[in-house]
Structure 1
Amino acid sequence: MSEKSTMYKIVKYTRDYYDEWNSFIENSKNATFLFHRDFMEYHSDRFEDFSLLAYKKNKLVAVLPANKNGKDVYSHQGLTYGGVVLEKEVKFEIVVEIFKNILKYLETQSVKNLIIKQIPSIYITNTNDEILYLMFVLKAELLKRDTLSVVNLFERLKISNNRLEGFKRGEKNGLVIREEDTFELFWNDILIKNLKKKHNASPVHSLEEMTLLKRRFPNNIKQFNVYKDNKIVAGTTVFESKYVAHSQYISGDESKNSLGSLDFLHIYLINEVFKEKKYFDFGISNENYGLQINKGLQFWKEGFGARTITQDFYKVKTKNHAILNDIFL
């Protein structure tokens, strides 16, 4: 066994690593509060956790938030994004060794494939394309590519006349925006009804789960409701990270177009509440496993000056780790 191969150690996460994991997440180059164990474990009953820690000479240099499903490990099916989380100053050669050793470890655990859900570039603190390059070298299969509609708040584009007209309708109708500490009104009066009617679906997070997460992350999860004559007519749930404000849920009642409630709300959030952020992320407009776009939804988001970035999903065979032995000349 080579000296380099013994330099790295991969360990499966247990509760004993709770503090070390969270401290690493706090100081990494490509993580948000979604990777904190208190967020990851709110739905631990639904996923078989298979998170990994990577050490170089007993120093933690990377973690992989992950779950196991059959013969595959995912990064992570219960999170919006994932991938290998790296220390800020890590260099390319070390990333190669980390990823090679992760694949080797997974192979020894009878895992056939690692499914990676890349973190979008807007969320990271430093350049982060090492793994993307390794996907090419390792002949990974691109499973899916989603499109996110993002407003660059440092180089803002003009808000369209359609959205401005909606904002003016909101002003004319006397709409009021309030930041709330609870989610009951939005969930029960707006969100659940709309998702059931339009998509025969339920929110990814139950009301109880969102309430729990808000209690754990009060500075990162925020609820904004819109009222007409003290009756809720629209709202959005925002996940706030270092650089990005992301509308996790957006919904309004049947009067949203006539009142301009969602235009009124989001122009206010972009211009006032989150104006110091780098980005405002409206999320995806994809349907049918990423292959089609909801044209009306895309048009609405682009009206605020949002433009497209992508998020990739890859499947890499764990046995392909040997390819990385020959990456350097």
Structure 2
Amino acid sequence: MIIEIRKYTQDDHSVWDKFLLNAQQASFLFHRNFMDYHSDRFQDFSLMIYEDDELVAVLPANKIDDEVFSHLGLTYGGIIINGDSEITNMEKIIDAVANFLKQKDIKALYIKNLPQFYYNDGIDILEIPLTNKNAEVYRTDKVLAIDYSKPFAIHKTKLKNYRKNHAKGFVIQETDDFSLFWNMVLVPRLKEKHKATPVHNLEEITLLRSRFPNHVRQFNIYLNDDILAGITIFDKGPIVKSQYGATTNKGEKERALEYLFLHLIYKYKGSEKNFFSMGTVTENNELGYNKGLLKQKEELGCEVYSQDFYKLEL
């Protein structure tokens, strides 16, 4: 078995995307039309791993100085293998990647692993081989998700409010126009509450919607024609993720965002999804996470899963 590492180039665009059609843990986030929308911000250093001239794995990545990272423009990454690859080959793949990077004078590889529930059967294919290579887990995030394969518990108060609010006359609509939610809800709310801005600006999310209309979706909730809240969904096949969720001050009083979340949780439960992810609760404080946000997401039926971040010194 001969393993060869090749650095991705634009000429590999179609080969890369075709590989993802049969890849384990595949997501539209790894397609080049998603990764390359912000190519001006990152020096791409994605790798393609061949075994006896057959593409068996890819590593979406970027380079900063003499270090390589699981692509920092993505929520997660790691080494994505094809559907037929043996997990036992992973240590050999990591050895080959490490040797390739050493030859390029790279000092360290940072891998932003997938959350536990993204792996088939919950088996983390990177944990053991990276541990055997003495990689350091320098960070672990809490990721919240609902497992649709088993009963999930929504807090009784949230269920009570959900049923009561049926009578308010909320209107929920899916739209391909993100401007109302971005301009009237998301951007002002993030600025007011967190002095922050969305990762994607309006132009970028509109571009991604045009490239991935079945995967990037926007749901808004209204009362008397006033927008109260919205949720941006990233549909990744078996897993659906709420990428953004925000509400106006009026919407907060009406519990509109909570109502919309429960509406979507039930909607996707009936559409053969495996998980509904609500993302992380990471925060820069003593705990490392937002305690209140964790409680809110757990009360909406989520369980806590881990996402590990590794550093491999080369």
Instruction: Report the TM-score, using the length of structure 2 for normalisation.
Output: 0.95
Give the counterpart of 1:295 among 287, 291, 295: 291
SS at the partner of 1:227?
strand
Shift of 1:283: 0.8
Q: Against the structure 1 CA distance between its residues 125 and 26, is the aligned structure 2 distance closer, same or farther, given a 3 Å change threshold? A: farther
CA distance in 2, matches of 1:209, 1:14: 23
Q: Which residue of 2 aligns with 1:282?
A: 278
Cα distance in 2 between the residues matched to 1:289 and 1:316? 26
Q: Distance in 1 between matches of 2:29 and 2:285?
A: 23
Measure the CA separation in 1 of the matches of 2:274 and 2:125.
Answer: 23
For the residue of structure 2 that corresponds to 1:272, the secondary structure is: helix
Distance in 1, Cα, partners of 2:235 & 2:33? 16
For residues 79 and 224 of structure 1, do their structure 2 counterparts lie closer, same or farther at Cα, with a shift above 3 Å needed? same
- What SS does structure 1 have at the residue aligned with 2:232? strand
User: Counterpart in 2 of 1:45?
Assistant: 40
* CA offset digits 1:244-288 (Å, max 9, x no partner): 110000100112332120121111111124432111111111211
d(CA) in 1 for partners of 2:286, 2:180: 31
Q: Between Structure 1 and Structure 2, how many residues are aligned?
A: 313
Equivalent-residue separation in structure 1 for 2:300 and 2:158 (angstroms): 7
* Alignment of 1:129 onto 2:124: yes
**Cα offsets for 1:95-152 (capped at 9, x unmatched):** 2221111110001111100000001232244665231111211111112111011111
Pairwise CA distance, 1:220: 0.6
Farther off after superposition, 281-290 or 307-316: 281-290
Q: Match for 2:202: what amino acid? A: L
1:93, 1:297 → 2: CA distance? 38
Q: 1:128 to 1:18 in 2, by over 3 A?
A: farther
3-state SS in 2 of match to 1:27: coil
2:290 counterpart letter in structure 1? N
The corresponding residue for 1:101 is 96
Partner SS for 2:48: strand
User: Take 1:253 and 1:127, find their aligned partners in 2: how far apart are those partners?
Assistant: 37
Indicate conservation of the 8 Å contact 1:115/1:316, yes or no.
Answer: yes
**Is the Cα–Cα contact under 8 Å of residues 246 and 283 in structure 1 kept in the other structure?**
yes
Alignment match of 1:269 (pick from 245, 249, 264)? 264
Letter of the structure 2 residue corresponding to residue 226 of structure 1? I
Give, in whole Å, the separation in 1 of the partners of 2:203 and 2:179: 9
Pairing 1:315–2:307 present? no
| Whole-Å separation in 2 of the counterparts to 1:254 and 1:286 | 24
Q: Any idea what the Cα deviations from partners look like across 1:200-226, whole Å, max 9, x if unmatched?
A: 110000100000000111111110000
Matched with 1:179 is: 174
Cα RMSD (Å) of the superposition?
1.6
Partner secondary structure for residue 55 of structure 2: strand
C-alpha distance in 1, partners of 2:23/2:119? Answer: 9
Does the aligned pair in 1 maintain the 2:57–2:79 contact within 8 Å?
yes
Matched, 1:255 2:241: no
Structure 1 residues 89 and 108, CA gap change in structure 2 (3 angstroms)? same
Partner of 1:214: 209
Unpaired stretches in structure 2, ≥5 consecutive residues: none
1:65 to 60, 69, 78: 60
User: Structure 1 vs Structure 2: percent identity of aligned residues?
Assistant: 39
Q: 1:147 to 1:290 in 2, by over 3 A?
A: farther
Is 2:225 the counterpart of 1:230? yes
TM-score normalized by the length of structure 1 = 0.91
SS at match of 2:249: coil
More displaced stretch, 229-238 vs 254-263: 254-263
Conserved in 2, the CA contact under 8 Å of 1:166 and 1:257? Answer: no
Residue 72 of structure 2: aligned partner: 77
Q: Residue 226 of structure 2 aligns to which amino acid in structure 1?
A: K
- Distance in 1 between the 2:140 and 2:88 partners? 27
